[in-house]
Amino acid sequence: MARRGKKKGRPISGWIVLDKPVKYGSTDAVSKVKWLFQAQKAGHAGTLDPLASGMLPIALGEATKTVPFVMEGAKVYRFTVAWGEERTTDDLEGPVVKTSDKRPSVEEIEAVLPKYTGLVMQVPPQFSAVKIGGERAYDLAREGEEVEIAAREVEIGRLELIKAEPDRAEFEIDCGKGTYVRSLARDIGRDLGCYGHIAELRRTEVYPFEPAQMVSLETLIEAEEAAEDENARFEAIDPYVMDTAAALGGLPEIQLSDDAAHRIRMGNPVIVRGRDAPVEAPEAWASARGKLIAIGLVEAGMFKPKRVFAEG
């Protein structure tokens, strides 16, 4: 029986809240960060298009187990819509397919915004990662196929006009998982009778992370290049890694004794103790000595682990 090979890289775990630059794809950004930290594994929570910049939370090591909790988090975007043209990709990348000489007034723009808040039915862009018959929509679109993508429900908490110029307007939006800002620009442009596409897009927040926690790729590279040797290299960039539990800000924390933590690591439930401890919770996380031990649920005063985290 063949023995499992040793994993390549460092067993580093935690989150890098990257300020992704324009022209970098999300996968490219993850690969670069993984290489910089020599991490054994890495993944991201929420794709950003190459033409978009801003917050891209990247999970290293054991933090990849917490990616779904960040994916579900609310997001904030600042974006600019250019009026007068609709494009195949709903952004600057694709060719123009419709044009209009009309330009909307501030009053006209503000009048349509309530239509796009709350629970909204939205059709994703033709160039998107949505699967159609097992294939990605953008692959079919690149082959020249025009596919029908079903509308889906998304939640938009706030949509605000920040600045308006004759040929463009700047907005800010708070939205939930699955919202396509490119679709929003397309649909608003159609409603206003002037057409529109995304000219600039920046994601400023992904809950539970905050803008002040972002670090640029340039900062990481400069810190790494300034190091004198391999050990100094990691000493320079590791402080930018946030604790794995930072992704779980919206969940109750169950603090455990060392003995209870050992039982959890063996896959056993434990009694939840403490005056403020929840009796019931569909999702919670357990810690011991300030370290994340497991994610699970609290049922009838018992914490039951679902995902256990490696020590270290």
Position 20 in a domain: yes
Over the stretch 181-237, which tens digit does the pLDDT of each residue have? Answer: 999 999 999 999 999 999 999 999 999 999 999 999 999 999 999 888 877 899 999
Residues 6+ apart with CB under 8 A from 125: 89, 90, 137, 180, 182, 183, 186
Q: Catalytic: 49?
A: yes
Structural domains of the chain, count: 3
- Between CA 312 and CA 298 the distance in angstroms is 25
Mean pLDDT value across residues 236-257:
94
- Choosing from 19, 49, 90, 91, the catalytic residue is 49
Mean pLDDT value across residues 264-285:
90
Is the dihedral angle over the CA atoms 293, 62, 240, 57 positive or is it negative?
negative
Task: Return the DSSP state at 279.
Answer: S
Mean pLDDT value across residues 62-69:
96
Count CB-CB contacts under 10 A for residue 66.
Answer: 26
∠ CA 166-169-174, rounded to 5° = 165
**Pair 40, 8: CB distance under 8 Å:** yes
Three-class SS state of 268: coil
Q: What pLDDT does 273 receive?
A: 82
Position 140 in a domain: yes
Mean pLDDT of the chain: 91
Q: What pLDDT does 1 receive?
A: 43
- Are both 187 and 98 inside the same structural domain? yes
- Are both 55 and 85 inside the same structural domain? no
Residue with tokens 């009838």: 300
| Domain span at 236 | 14-72+209-244
CATH number at residue 294: 2.30.130.10
Task: Return the DSSP state at 2.
Answer: P
